[in-house]
């Protein structure tokens, strides 16, 4: 994943850094006069006027009132500026196999609005893109969100995403370059529509980043695996998302765990995916005589602690634990996260992975990684895409704490469900 | 691995960047007057005089002559400055189990002198350190190398090296902090003796870095494994050496390959190390009736293409290939390098690893990584330590091509054997 900004010289870079500091000062302190802001961020009045002029023009901040009522002395009252609560700054879009999720965040990284819309898994990229853009419009108009100041759009797509990862610029931008198209132009569609830079990456990888940087105990080294229709993975190493030399890093699902196992859709046999994906788990249940007709039936069997389902899950988890054990020996992560609905539903699965992994670890590594189920659900994919935008901004990245995915609904709810939310 | 520089402000950082440019200009162009240097590096005469004054004082450059003979006009002849060919800038020290290697490089990263000295594998760290320091003295006095301008010392040590990795400062430096001692103070001994910052890391990991950045085809993503008395590994990802959350990244030797295999010194059974280390290979040869009495006998059997030795090597290579296959699926490196004497001696081994690894790879990854035997031999460990010093200097890292390990002996010999070399 790379982030290409609009062509900027050193001056523009400095200006955007200043802008960011001004936005953060307003976020931390609420409405302030230009003089108060200048003092806090350490800029001259002249420079600050330029910065605030630009932010006002972009719609990122607004004039809320003057300090006339509160000032004692004489002279012209000073305008007080504040973040525009209706101005979106970041957008995250997550295209799953059957649904697209969107989350829109303000300058302080708080979710302003989020929602999702279904499509058929045979839908073309053009259809998916149109549905996603219509969803953004609907969500934004319902919540009164404006897009004039969008700084970046992150887009997650299913499946391996080759490097160099696509970053589209609005075509109107002089010197704009499209490094590599996302699946059938979704990146270009968003870049043109919102006149903002777009980052595209595999959505499992984006989820890994979101898990690494979400919450108070963010970690620099994290191994993420998601059990769903397939088994995907993502790595964060040294605080950076790893894409690998050809964009294929994290393909844990195709490590061989049973040399003479079931055929895998990749062409090999006995890949982890044939054992630990939801279809793989269902197939093993059938082999043991437990005929479940789909993920819902599996969830139900897990909820009832059906002994066959639990045995099959332990077997899948043991295979997963061996693969994660080898990967942990290689990478020495601080945390191993298991994503996907099944991991959330089945404590047995996470427990068995942790046990197998502990057995695999180098005994002198007394403290192995934390092993846990993902905190963000599959429904939160757009948060991963948002995290990518936050994380990849070289300007934002310099400021501690800017990489957090925050939720305006005060933190008591780990998902953005409390924000204005539309599903269709 | 971290590099702590002496406390420096922005001014000092700028000065060191300027110094570096001046040294590189002198390296590229040979002796020049201050005016010529100023023109090439784009500095004012005043700034340049400060920089060259400092470099002259540190012994990094010398006055070679004046331009009196070559200039046509009148006026005072200008001094011509050049790199001091006798002034060491970087030192690499590699402590193996039975031998320490030292390599000393000049400002242009060329090896000035290198050598090694044996010790007993039961020797204390104090003895090893004293032997290494005496070796440096002997090598330097034979080759007329001075240490007044040493910029950094890299030290490789055997075994996992926990993070945060030790960086010792000379005790005399105000504000000096020792993050974590190397094995029994070797880092402090070198830092104090040479008044230079010291970087310490596991020597297998340093070898991985050296393999990644050596030669014209340097890669950003590399997986390295070394087969010796044990099996160690190192990862370079995105151009950075990976240490992991607790300094244990790269421990490929303790991935389980045979769940009911031989006991491993780590306490588990059937680790890769029990199969693919030199003692592991020898043990398997015995099981197949080929009684070899040590690494030399194994080398001899390999050279004679003994069928049992080849079969055992293929088996070990297949196990190694499966572990590297899983690691490659996880990391998607551009290159997989197999180090250790046995990999150099046995084409069968590298060939079988490549074949097994290709079979393990995700079929859509049409182009798997390059698999090759290490270019640098175990004897070149000090080059890894040097590479760490070159690579970790935030100043040097900014300049393309500065991370290369170069050999003054013009590149026709990949090892520094042609440089003044002492063994004892």
Q: What is the CA radius of gyration of chain B?
A: 24
**What's the mean per-residue pLDDT of chain A?**
80
Which residue of chain B comes nearest to A234, CA vs CA? Answer: B330
| Token pair recorded at residue A11 | 């001056």
For chain B, which residues lie within 8 Å of any Cβ of chain A, measuring from their own Cβ? 160, 219-221, 233, 235, 237-238, 240, 242-252, 254-256, 266-268, 322-323, 325-327, 329-334, 360, 362-365, 367, 369
pLDDT of residue A357: 94
Identify the pLDDT of residue A243: 85
Contact list, B266 vs chain A (CB under 8 Å): 362-364
Segment A303-359, tens digit of pLDDT = 999 999 999 999 999 999 999 999 999 999 999 999 999 999 999 999 999 999 998
- As averages over each run of 10 residues, the pLDDT of chain B (424 residues) reads 39 64 84 90 86 85 82 76 85 89 85 92 90 95 83 83 42 35 77 84 88 81 93 90 86 92 90 96 96 94 95 97 94 94 93 93 72 85 81 40 34 33 38
Chain B interface, best mutation among A1, A208, A362, by max B CB count within 10 A: A362
pLDDT at A365: 55
Q: Do B254 and A332 touch (CB under 8 A)?
A: no
Rounded distance between C-alpha atoms, residue A270 and residue B28, angstroms: 56
- pLDDT of A248 reads 84
Residue A144 has pLDDT above 60, yes or no: yes
Give me the pLDDT at residue A160, please. 63
Q: Which residue of A has its CA nearest to B254?
A: A362
Residue of A nearest to B253 (CA): A329
Mark yes or no for CB contact A245/B219 under 8 Å.
yes
The pLDDT of residue B308 is 96
For every residue of chain B, which 3-state class applies, written as one string?
Answer: CCCCCCCCCHHHHHHHHHHHHHHHHHHHHCCEEHHHHHHHHCCCHHHHHHHHHHHHHHCCEEEEEECCCCCCCCCCCCEEEEECCCECCEEEEEECCCEEEEEEECCCCEEEEEEEEECCCCCCHHHHHHHHHHHHHHHHHHHCCECCCCCEEEEEECCCCCCCCCEECCCCCCCCCCCCCCHHHHHHHHHHHHCCCEEEEEHHHHHHHHHHHCCCCCCCCEEEEEECCCEEEEEEECCEECCCCCCCCCCHHHCECCCCCCECCCCCECEHHHHHCHHHHHHHHHHCCCCCCCHHHHHHHHHCCCHHHHHHHHHHHHHHHHHHHHHHHHHCCCEEEEECHHHHHCHHHHHHHHHHHHHHCCCCCCCCCEEEECCCCHHHHHHHHHHHHHHHCCCHHHCCCCCCCECCCCCCCCCHHHCEEEEC
Q: Which of A169, A190, A191 is nearest to A178 (CA)?
A: A169
Half-sphere exposure of A410 (CA within 13 A, CB side): 1
- Of the candidates B256, B266, B332, which has its C-beta nearest A249's C-beta? B332
Residue B170 CB neighbour total at 10 angstroms? 17
Interface test with A, best of B208, B244, B327, B333 (most A CBs within 10 A): B244
Least confident of A185-199, A374-388, B51-65, B382-396: B382-396
**CA–CA dist B117, B197 (Å, integer):** 23
SS3 assignment for A40-63: HHCCCHHHHHHHHHHHHHHCCEEE
pLDDT of residue B191: 86
Chain segment B29-83, per-residue pLDDT in tens: 889 999 899 888 888 888 889 889 988 887 788 999 887 776 666 677 889 999 8
pLDDT for A231: 93
Res. A393: pLDDT tops 60: no
Share of chain A above pLDDT 90, in %: 40
d(CA A362, CA A96): 37
Q: How open is the CA angle A77-A80-A86, to the nearest 5 degrees? A: 150
Q: What are the structural domains, with CATH classification, of chain A? A: 10-83 (1.10.10.10), 90-207+379-423 (3.30.420.40), 219-374 (3.30.420.40)
pLDDT of residue B71: 66
Write down the pLDDT at residue B16: 63
- Nearest by CB: B367 against A246, A268, A327: A246
Higher local confidence (pLDDT), B241 or A180: B241
Q: Which residues contact A325 (CB under 8 A, 6 or more apart)?
A: A356, A357, A359, A360, A361, B255, B256
Cβ distance of A330 and B331 shorter than 8 Å: yes
The whole-number pLDDT of residue A37 equals: 92
Helix %, strand %, coil % for chain A, to 5?
A: 40, 20, 40
* Alpha carbons B215 and B222: distance in angstroms, whole number: 14
Instruction: Among A219, A248, A330, select the one facing B327 at the smallest CB separation.
Output: A330
Within chain A, what is the greatest distance between any pair of CA atoms?
A: 87
**pLDDT band at A14; cut points 50, 70, 90:** low
Nearest neighbour of B251 by CB, restricted to A220, A247, A329: A329
According to the model, what pLDDT value does residue A384 have?
82
Residue in A237, A234, A245, A238 with CA at minimum distance from that of residue A201: A234
pLDDT score, position B225:
97
Out of A219, A326, A330, whose CB is closest to B235?
Answer: A330
Give the model's confidence band at A405: pLDDT under 50 very low, under 70 low, under 90 confident, else very high. very low
A65 Cβ contact list (under 8 Å, min separation 6): A31, A79, A80
Measured between beta carbons, the chain A residues lying within 8 angstroms of B244 are: 221, 331-333
The pLDDT value given to residue B364:
57
Question: Cβ–Cβ of A330/B160 closer than 8 Å?
Answer: no
Chain A CB contacts of B237 under 8 Å are 237-238, 242
**What integer pLDDT is reported at residue A16 of this predicted model?**
63
If you write DSSP's letter for every residue of A227-271 in order, what string do you get? ESSSEEEEEEETTEE---TTS-TT-GGGSBS-TT--B-TTSSBSB
Q: For an interface test with A, which of B231, B245, B268, B368 has the most A Cβ atoms less than 10 Å from its Cβ? A: B245
Nearest by CB: B237 against A237, A268, A326: A237
Where does the pLDDT of residue A108 fall: very low under 50, low under 70, confident under 90, or very high at 90 and above?
confident
Which among B267, B329, B332 has the least Cβ separation from residue A245? B332
Residue A394 has what pLDDT?
A: 39
pLDDT (tens digit, 9 = 90+) per residue, A44-58? Answer: 888 889 889 988 887
- For testing the chain B interface, which of A329, A361, A364 should be mutated: the one with the most B CBs within 10 Å? A329
ipTM for the predicted complex comes to: 0.73
Residue A165: helix, strand or coil by DSSP? coil
Does residue A164 have a cis bond before it (omega within 30 degrees)? yes
Please answer yes or no on whether B363 and A266 come within 8 Å at the CB atom. Answer: yes
Q: Following DSSP, what letter does each residue of A367-385 receive, concatenated?
A: S--EEEE-SS-GGGHHHHH
Q: Which of A343, A344, A336, A338 is nearest to A361 (CA)?
A: A336
Distance from CA of B160 to the nearest CA of A (A): 10
Q: Mean pLDDT, chain B, as a whole number? A: 80
């Amino acid at each position: 994943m790379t982030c290409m900004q609009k062509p900027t010289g050193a001056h523009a870079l400095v200006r955007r850094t200043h802008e960011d500091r001004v936005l953060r000062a307003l976020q931390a302190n609420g409405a302030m006069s230009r003089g108060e802001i200048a003092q806090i961020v350490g800029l001259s009045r002249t420079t600050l006027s330029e910065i605030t002029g630009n932010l006002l023009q972009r719609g990122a901040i607004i004039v809320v009132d003057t300090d006339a009522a509160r000032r004692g002395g004489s002279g012209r009252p000073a305008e007080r500026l504040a973040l525009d609560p209706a101005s979106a700054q970041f957008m995250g879009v997550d295209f799953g196999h059957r649904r697209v999720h969107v989350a829109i965040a303000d300058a302080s990284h708080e979710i302003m609005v989020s929602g999702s819309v279904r499509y058929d898994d045979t839908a073309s990229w053009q259809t998916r893109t149109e549905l996603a853009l219509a969803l953004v419009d609907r969500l934004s108009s319902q919540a009164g969100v404006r897009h004039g100041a969008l700084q970046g759009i992150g887009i997650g797509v299913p499946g391996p995403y080759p490097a160099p990862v696509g970053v589209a610029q609005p075509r109107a931008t002089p010197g704009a370059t499209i490094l590599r198209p996302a699946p059938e132009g979704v990146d270009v569609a968003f870049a043109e529509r919102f006149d903002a830079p777009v980052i595209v990456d595999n959505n499992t990888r984006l989820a890994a980043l979101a898990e690494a940087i979400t919450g108070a105990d963010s970690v620099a080294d994290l191994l993420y695996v998601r059990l769903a229709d397939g088994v995907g993975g993502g790595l964060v190493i040294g605080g950076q998302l790893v894409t690998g030399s050809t964009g294929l890093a994290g393909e844990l699902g195709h490590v061989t765990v049973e040399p003479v196992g079931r055929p895998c859709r990749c062409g090999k046999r006995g890949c982890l995916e044939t054992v630990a994906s939801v279809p793989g788990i269902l197939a093993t249940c059938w082999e043991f005589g437990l005929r479940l007709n789909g993920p819902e039936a599996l969830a139900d069997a897990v909820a009832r602690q059906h002994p066959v389902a639990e045995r099959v899950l332990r077997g899948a988890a043991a295979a997963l634990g061996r693969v994660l054990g080898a990967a942990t020996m290689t990478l020495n992560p601080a945390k191993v996260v298991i994503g996907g609905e099944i991991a959330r539903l089945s404590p047995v699965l996470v427990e068995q992975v942790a046990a197998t992994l502990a057995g695999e670890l180098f005994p002198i590594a007394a403290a192995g990684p934390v092993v846990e189920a993902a905190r963000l659900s599959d429904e939160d994919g757009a948060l991963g895409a948002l995290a990518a935008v936050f994380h990849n901004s070289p300007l934002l990245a310099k400021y501690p704490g800017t990489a957090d995915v925050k939720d305006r609904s005060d933190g008591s709810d780990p998902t953005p469900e409390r924000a204005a939310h539309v599903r269709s």
